[in-house]
Amino acid sequence: MERIYTVNLRREVLKVARWRRAERAVRALRAFVKRHMKVEEDKVKLSERLNNYLWHRGAKNPPTRVRIIAKKLEDGRVEVDIYGLTPKPKVEGKEKGEEKKEGEGKEEKRGKEERKEEKGRELKEVGGKGKKEG
């Protein structure tokens, strides 16, 4: 079962001290999902992206409302994520231990040196480092 909700966090956030507002927003979101999806609060799993979204402006100024998508799994857990964001793509070709090929870095260095030499030649032809004639 999958549902989309827009949750107003302002009501709950304004009830607490400023330095606790993001923390309260997380708790309010969990309570909302618990009530609407009919599960226990410990079965609600907020995604890392949703958590980062709630905390990205700091603890004192969380967003006032958030649009979420709640998915109830067969084992009774509920996964909650931000609505509208595509899932993270999984990179299959690269692994953590892989290194760059030897030739890649050297080509970039050569290119930078050549650009510096060309720039130096252009400045000599013009007549110095940007000095105005007259």
Predicted confidence at residue 98, as pLDDT, reads 62
Contact (Cβ atoms closer than 8 angstroms) between residue 30 and residue 41: yes
Number of structural domains the chain divides into: 1
Instruction: Specify if 100 maps to a domain.
Output: no
Q: Would you say residue 122 lies in a domain?
A: no
Whether residue 92 lies inside any domain: the answer is no
106 inside domain: no
110 occurs within a structural domain? no
pLDDT of the residue at 16:
96
Task: Write out the chain's pLDDT in tens, 134 residues.
Answer: 999 999 999 999 999 999 999 999 999 999 999 999 999 999 999 999 999 999 999 999 999 999 999 999 999 999 999 998 766 667 777 666 666 566 555 666 667 777 777 777 776 666 655 555 55
In a domain, 57, yes or no: yes
pLDDT of residue 111: 72
Q: How high is the pLDDT of residue 126?
A: 64
In-domain check, residue 41: yes
Q: Which two tokens stand for residue 42?
A: 């410990």
Residue 43, domain CATH: 3.10.440.10
pLDDT of residue 36: 96
- Please spell the DSSP secondary structure of 43-94, one letter per residue: GEEE-HHHHHHHHTT-SS---SEEEEEEEE-TTS-EEEEETTPPPPPPP-S-
What domain range is 30 assigned to? 2-82
